[in-house]
């Protein structure tokens, strides 16, 4: 019974991720407000990050990938091998978060400049104002 | 240090030093701008750094040529697949050299192109050097995640360059369009990387190539789940990301606005240097990494077909829309889309001759397109408008610039004896070799149409009587010399093409097919991890 529940939860997780990507792409492409576009872009970045964190997870008995002692014994190493999650995805995510932050900051700066010049954040209206 | 071949240290470290020098100087530039408020110092700094990087890439190219096999540089001393490595073969080294050369010339041109009271020049140089680091890093790296990071460096600096004239509404609009779609593309590429990591458990390019072919590679485990599914998703998403980045139709809309409104130096850099990175990565992934592997054969063939079709669409869109434009930079932007189409078509063929055509055309297009953007920049600056009907006769006031523009236009249109003709000729041969003769007709027609587009610029700017007295149009020597060097290259690459072909293009293009060597060189390092040798 629990396996069916956990299966259903995994499927739910996948559907959520795909749905979030769809929402984000819709927001970036269709919504005219620049701020909404930026929010959608953040959603997309975070979805990708969640997805790769999920890849590093191991089902059943996951632990932090840290060996607590300086000179580990064989048992500790074996325990580490059995339980540690993959640390690489977390490194990738940290890099990606920093990059997303800088891109978002840049886009917000552009949005401020757009508002100063045109008095609107609506991308469609800003195009019409071009002289 | 005995892990590297017995070479002078500068030859070993030059390839890694080139992007590192560029990025460190990019971060040093704002500090210099804060402490020394003198434009001349900034110019001198950027010029020095771009010269140094150009020399380093030249030394790097010599190293790779001398070794005759891909050169692996370990960053932090960690061998592949554990650490990030630079794996540079001749294709990458040649492309890096050409990119650094073009950037160097554009920096020289830019010193006088921007007025002495131009605001924010320190930021211009910051982003320009950052772009150089991104381009070289993307080309040299041997790690798919490192490609993502440097792709972002390249992208965010190019967004900043497009928004350089931040008090002009049109520049901000173009930058918003350019950066939103660009950020979408890079995030999609990040997703692609997660798929390849999920299915193969590695991010190293040589390791990926080995795993897909079912070969053993140390440390990283066996592939997980279906290789075809993971690689298919990876390929689909990364082809999309790279073609968006380069600006191949149907994803070309964002580059048109960006090339149209940004300063001519920036348009030249984006069109000639940044776009080549996308094509390089397409060729590297589709051919070196994936083609020839039994497990993913159909997927790779589908990917190549998609690239080929996108190239065709690009050629058709670019050539037809180019001739109806009335803005000089927009004509050149469509011409870029057209030429990206040729390169994509050549990559999509995936034959040795096709890759030779792609590489040669990438170089020829980089040289000629930079030249024509820079000459058009002189006209735009003198007449104060980009519209063709606002710059009538301006060319008569600048005979040297006009002559250079004619050379660039003929080279881009593919008129012998200039360089564009040679690469198009090789492309015809490559198409005939695989029995795609109808496509040759499309290419010839598109070249003829594009010649009309270039002639339109020359007709308006030179043949028509001057509308007014433009004053002194001919640029100072510092702007003329880079253009003269580029024009000379247009002629040399065309006239001496048999020699260039044998000496540089053919051996470089050949390395993209040498997957075995690519894997083997990295494997030699990875083996040391197995036997526990401390490097």
**Core vs surface per residue B125-157: b (16+ CB within 10 A) or e:** bbbbbbbbbbbbbbbbbbbbbbbbbbbbbbbbb
Q: Supply the pLDDT for residue A65.
A: 79
Q: Supply the pLDDT for residue B62.
A: 94
User: Does residue B385 register a pLDDT over 90?
Assistant: no
Query: pLDDT per residue over B77-106, tens digit each?
Result: 888 888 899 999 999 999 999 999 999 999
Integer Cα distance of B143 and B87 in angstroms: 8
User: Does residue B146 register a pLDDT over 70?
Assistant: yes
Mean pLDDT, chain A, rounded, equals: 86
Q: Supply the pLDDT for residue A128.
A: 61
Residue of B nearest to A89 (CA): B194
DSSP bridge partners of A33 = A122
pTM for the structure as a whole: 0.94
pLDDT (average), residues B496-520: 92
Query: pLDDT per residue over B414-434, tens digit each?
Result: 888 899 999 999 999 999 999
Q: Supply the pLDDT for residue B533.
A: 55
pLDDT (average), residues B206-221: 87
Chain-chain contact of B169 with A45 (C-beta, under 8 angstroms): no
pLDDT (average), residues B199-219: 89
Residue of A nearest to B193 (CA): A52
Query: pLDDT per residue over B164-200, tens digit each?
Result: 998 888 899 999 999 999 999 999 999 999 999 988 8
Query: pLDDT per residue over B335-358, tens digit each?
Result: 999 999 999 999 999 999 999 999
Q: How far is CA B424 from the centre of its chain?
A: 18
A1-5, B26-30, B112-116, B321-325: which is most confident? B26-30
Select A2-60+87-128's CATH number: 1.10.287.3510, 3.40.720.10, 1.10.287.40, 3.40.50.720: 1.10.287.3510
pLDDT band at B507 (very low <50, low <70, confident <90, very high): very high
Integer Cα distance of A84 and A67 in angstroms: 9
- B159-178 residues touching A, CB cutoff 8 A: 159-160, 163, 166-167, 169-170, 172-173, 175-176
Mean pLDDT, chain B, rounded, equals: 91
Distance from CA of B64 to the nearest CA of A (A): 30
Query: pLDDT per residue over B298-345, tens digit each?
Result: 999 999 999 999 999 999 999 999 989 889 999 999 999 999 999 999
Q: What ranges do the domains of chain B cover?
A: 9-530
Chain-chain contact of A106 with B173 (C-beta, under 8 angstroms): no
DSSP bridge partners of A122 = A33
Classify the complex by whether its ipTM is higher than 0.90, answering yes or no. yes
Please give the radius of gyration of chain A, using alpha carbons only, rounded to the nearest integer. Answer: 22
DSSP state of B389: G
Contact between B105 and B486 (Cβ < 8 Å): yes
Integer Cα distance of B319 and B166 in angstroms: 31
Chain-chain contact of A107 with B172 (C-beta, under 8 angstroms): no
Query: pLDDT per residue over A31-75, tens digit each?
Result: 899 999 999 999 999 999 998 888 777 766 677 778 878 888 888
Interface with A, mutate which of B179, B190, B254 (most A CBs under 10 A)? B190
Query: Cβ atoms within 10 A of the Cβ of B170, count?
Result: 18
The set of long-range contacts for B440-444, using a CB threshold of 8 Å and a minimum separation of 24, is B442/B312, B442/B315, B442/B316, B443/B315, B443/B342, B443/B345
Contact between B59 and B93 (Cβ < 8 Å): no
User: Does residue A131 register a pLDDT over 50?
Assistant: no
Residue count of chain B: 535
Q: What ranges do the domains of chain A cover?
A: 2-60+87-128
Integer Cα distance of B463 and B443 in angstroms: 28
According to the 3-state scheme, what is the secondary structure of B40-92?
A: HHHHHHHHHHHHHHHHHHHHHHHHHHHHCCCEEEEHHHCCCCCCCEEEECHHH
Tokens 């048999």 identify what position?
A: B498
User: Does residue B366 register a pLDDT over 70?
Assistant: yes
Alpha-carbon torsion (B403, B404, B410, B413), positive or negative: negative
User: Does residue A27 register a pLDDT over 70?
Assistant: yes
**CB-count exposure of residue B478 (10 Å: 0-12, 13-18, 19+):** middle
A&B contacts, CB < 8 Å: 84
pLDDT (average), residues B390-400: 89
Phi, psi of B247 (to 5 degrees): 100, 40
CA-wise closest residue to B153 among B24, B333, B343 = B24
pLDDT band at B530 (very low <50, low <70, confident <90, very high): confident
Tokens 């298919």 identify what position?
A: B232
Contact between B78 and B27 (Cβ < 8 Å): no
Q: Supply the pLDDT for residue B299.
A: 92
CA-wise closest residue to B100 among B138, B145, B153, B155 = B138
List strand residue ranges (DSSP E) for B46-202, in order.
71-74, 85-88
């Amino acid at each position: 019974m629990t396996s069916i529940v956990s299966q259903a939860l995994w499927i739910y997780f996948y559907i959520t991720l795909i749905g979030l990507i769809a929402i984000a792409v819709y927001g970036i492409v269709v919504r005219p407000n620049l701020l909404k576009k930026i929010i959608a872009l953040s959603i997309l970045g975070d979805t990708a990050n969640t997805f790769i964190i999920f890849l590093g997870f191991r089902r059943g008995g996951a632990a932090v990938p840290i060996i607590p002692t300086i000179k580990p014994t064989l048992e500790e190493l074996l325990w580490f091998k059995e339980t540690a999650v993959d640390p690489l995805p977390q490194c990738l995510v940290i890099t990606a978060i920093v990059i997303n932050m800088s891109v978002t900051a840049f886009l917000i700066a552009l949005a401020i400049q757009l508002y100063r010049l045109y008095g609107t954040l609506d991308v469609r209206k800003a195009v019409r104002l071009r002289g | 240090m005995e892990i590297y071949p017995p070479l002078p240290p500068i030859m070993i470290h030059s390839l890694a030093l080139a992007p590192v020098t560029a990025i460190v100087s990019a971060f040093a530039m704002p500090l210099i701008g804060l402490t020394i408020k003198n434009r001349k110092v900034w110019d001198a700094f950027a010029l020095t750094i771009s010269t140094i990087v150009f020399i380093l890439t030249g030394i790097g190219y010599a190293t790779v040529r001398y070794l005759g096999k891909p050169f692996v540089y370990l960053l932090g001393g960690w061998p592949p697949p554990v650490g990030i490595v630079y794996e540079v073969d001749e294709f990458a080294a040649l492309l890096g050299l050409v990119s650094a050369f073009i950037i160097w010339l554009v920096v020289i041109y830019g010193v006088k192109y921007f007025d002495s009271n131009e605001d924010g020049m320190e930021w211009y140089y910051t982003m320009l050097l950052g772009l150089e680091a991104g381009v070289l890093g993307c080309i040299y790296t041997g790690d798919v995640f490192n490609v993502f990071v440097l792709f972002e460096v390249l992208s965010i600096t190019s967004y900043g360059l497009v928004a350089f004239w931040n008090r002009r509404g049109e520049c901000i609009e173009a930058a918003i369009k350019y950066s939103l779609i660009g950020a979408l593309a890079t995030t999609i590429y990040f997703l692609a990387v997660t798929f390849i990591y999920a299915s193969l458990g590695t991010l190293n390019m040589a390791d990926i190539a080995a795993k897909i072919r079912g070969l053993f590679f140390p440390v990283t485990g066996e592939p997980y789940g279906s290789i075809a599914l993971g690689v298919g998703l990876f390929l689909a998403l990364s082809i999309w990301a790279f073609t968006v980045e380069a600006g191949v139709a149907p994803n070309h809309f964002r580059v048109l606005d960006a090339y149209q409104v940004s300063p001519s130096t920036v348009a030249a850099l984006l069109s000639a240097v940044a776009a080549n990175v996308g094509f390089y990565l397409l060729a590297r992934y589709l051919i070196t990494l994936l083609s020839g592997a039994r497990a993913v054969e159909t997927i790779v063939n589908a990917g190549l077909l998609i690239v080929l079709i996108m190239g065709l669409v690009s050629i058709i869109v670019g050539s037809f829309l180019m001739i109806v434009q009335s803005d000089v930079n927009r004509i050149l932007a469509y011409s870029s889309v057209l030429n990206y189409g040729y390169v994509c078509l050549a990559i999509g063929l995936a034959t040795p001759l096709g890759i030779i055509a792609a590489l040669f055309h990438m170089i020829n297009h980089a040289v000629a397109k930079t030249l024509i953007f820079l000459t058009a920049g002189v006209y735009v600056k003198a007449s104060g408008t980009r519209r063709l009907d606002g710059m009538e006769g301006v060319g008569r006031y600048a005979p040297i610039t006009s002559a250079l523009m004619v050379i660039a236009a003929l080279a881009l249109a593919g008129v012998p004896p200039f360089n564009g003709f040679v690469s198009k000729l090789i492309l015809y041969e490559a198409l005939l070799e695989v029995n795609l003769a109808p496509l040759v007709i499309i290419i010839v027609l598109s070249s003829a149409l594009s010649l009309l587009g270039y002639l339109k610029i020359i007709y308006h700017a030179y043949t028509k009587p001057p509308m007014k007295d433009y004053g002194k149009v001919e640029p100072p020597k510092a702007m003329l010399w880079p253009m003269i060097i580029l024009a000379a290259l247009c002629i040399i690459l065309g006239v001496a093409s048999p020699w260039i072909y044998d000496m540089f293009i053919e051996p470089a293009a050949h390395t993209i097919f040498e997957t075995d060597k690519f894997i083997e060189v990295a494997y030699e390092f990875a083996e040391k991890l197995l036997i526990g040798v401390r490097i």
